[in-house]
Structure 1
Amino acid sequence: MRTGTWAAAAVVAAAGIAGFTAVGAGAGPGPAPALRFADLPKSQADSTVDVEIVLAVDISYSMDPEEQALQREGYVAALGSPEFLGALKQGMHGKIVVTYVEWAGAADQRVLVPWRVIDGPASAEAFAASIAEAPYRRAYRTSISGALQFSADLFKDSGQRGIRRVIDVSGDGANNQGALVDATRDEVIAKGITINGLPLVLKRPNAATMDIEALDVYYEDCVIGGPSAFMIPIRDRTQFKEATRTKLVLEIAGRTPELRVIPAAASQPRISCTIGERMWQQRWGRDFN
């Protein structure tokens, strides 16, 4: 039986946020793969930062220009917020290392802002400015699995040793190209990496654009996973900044109150993890890759 860990509302309240649902989960149906301890920091004493974070942001054509702008503005605003800077100070080291990645199809991932240590207002402002100043682009297809594989490989070049490692993936659609997303998720979390999600649940399901219903459920069952994993769905455009700030605060804090474990009603996902691939096949009449 699958079990999921739900981050209590007190965490969100502590971050000064209301109106969002933070959901933590394991690796989906079945037992989570065992962590390979060789992939984890030897101890907190060996660490140099509190957390290593890859911000992996969807730039596929399903993201309209306004959504792209709001998504980027959300990160820029979050990095300079009192809540973010306050959470930063509470860590053992008082600093993190972050990189910002844009992704679309299976072979389309780019590092927009390379790894940088953030240890206070000045470095946070400089990182945010680099995001804001970069040109916008859009690209074809949606490969969450490609984004996860690319992001996981980046940790070896972070230049730091974090107590935790997190991939923070945001997007508005299901995987429709590349490796299967749930299998990729399992491979990534087996390396001791947590995957958190920010699904954009803004559009009515539309076969023409391959938007799906219950994208938040898809992210919970097929995308996020690892220790203390959670997601925060965005259901309204006005929530971008607040949701992004909440997510970063939770990731930096790296702690939750006592978790409430809720058994799933079934041993299978509530939504098919290949729904995006099947929609692509049905629309174009050919293999999704």
Structure 2
Amino acid sequence: MVLLRSLLACLFLTPPALACDLALALAVDVSGSVDTKEYRIQMDGLAEGLRDPLVSEALVRGQAQLMLVQWTGSSRQKVTIPWTRIDSFDALERFAAQVASDPRVWRNFSTAIGEALEMTMSSFDAVSDCKRHLIDISGDGVSNEGVEPSELHNTLRSRGVTVNAIAIEESEPDLTAYFFENVIVGEGAFVVSAAGFADYPDRIRKKLLREVVQQSAALEQRQ
């Protein structure tokens, strides 16, 4: 009887496991138009954006799952950092450090945005318990190979996956409009514009603030 009481006490005193608020796949463009310096700007900027105090607080509090994808041309998309649960600031710092040091997989291929979305979308099966499924895709050019990204919109919607984007308008000034019309999808989906790679660190930080902090707060208010 004493043992039973002890087990029951442990059961009711043990706090419930915290639910995952957000599964966020960070999809980074490593196509041929991105040189070595620009790749470094993207990775360092993304790592620092994740370390932003407000972003990191929201990710840890929401027990987020993060994943990094490198993508370029057709059949060239790779998960370079698998789903990682951000259950502490140490976990967040380890993930950010991995992003900053992540070696580039490809250098001289085309831009297959649709295939990047398709492959990334399939990875959310592993984090089905998370409330929100979000792909954060960056790019400096239109899709010129493989399936068109707009052809995946219905499937993305049906699976509850939102796509936000950052358009790096280094050489294509109308890229934001292209991303708006063809790439983003889902409730509250948006595009952030960067005039060039030099603007990327500031823009990706603001983008993360909007989708991780502001959208999470809005979701909590509706519940």
TM, length-normalised to structure 1: 0.65
1:247 matched to 2:207: yes
User: Percent identity over the alignment?
Assistant: 30
The aligned amino acid for 1:132 is A
* Alpha carbons 1:105, 1:141 under 8 Å: kept: yes
* Alpha carbons 1:52, 1:161 under 8 Å: kept: no
Deviation at 1:82, TM superposition (A): 1.1
2:55 to 80, 84, 89: 84
- Structure 1: how far apart are the matches of 2:19 and 2:74? 32
- Structure 2: how far apart are the matches of 1:64 and 1:231? 23
1:234 matched to 2:202: no
- Structure 1: how far apart are the matches of 2:148 and 2:123? 20
Match of 1:223 in 2: 183
**Number of paired residues?**
202
Match of 1:66 in 2: 37
Deviation at 1:55, TM superposition (A): 0.5
Match of 1:9 in 2: none
- SS of 1:255's equivalent in the other structure is helix
Deviation at 1:257, TM superposition (A): 9.4
1:71-104 superposed Cα distances (whole Å, 9 cap, x missing partner): 1111111111212123336xxx532001000001
1:57 to 20, 23, 28: 28
More displaced, 138-147 or 229-238?
A: 229-238
The aligned amino acid for 1:153 is S
- SS of 1:162's equivalent in the other structure is coil
Give the number of the structure whose alpha-carbon radius of gyration is greater: 2
Match of 1:278 in 2: none
* Alpha carbons 1:109, 1:150 under 8 Å: kept: yes
The aligned amino acid for 1:148 is L
Q: 1:83 to 1:257 in 2, by over 3 A?
A: closer
Deviation at 1:47, TM superposition (A): 8.1
* Alpha carbons 1:47, 1:162 under 8 Å: kept: no
Match of 1:150 in 2: 119
- Structure 2: how far apart are the matches of 1:139 and 1:161? 37
1:185 to 150, 153, 164: 153
- Structure 1: how far apart are the matches of 2:70 and 2:212? 21
- Structure 2: how far apart are the matches of 1:123 and 1:47? 16
1:175 matched to 2:137: no
1:105 matched to 2:73: yes
1:119-134 equivalent positions in 2, closer than 5 A: 119-134=87-102
Q: 1:148 to 1:82 in 2, by over 3 A?
A: same
CA-based RMSD: 2.2
In structure 1, list runs of 5 or more residues that go unmatched. 1-45, 204-211, 259-289
Match of 2:164 in 1: 196
Q: Per residue, is there more helix in 1 or in 2?
A: 2
Deviation at 1:62, TM superposition (A): 0.9
TM, length-normalised to structure 2: 0.83
Deviation at 1:256, TM superposition (A): 8.3
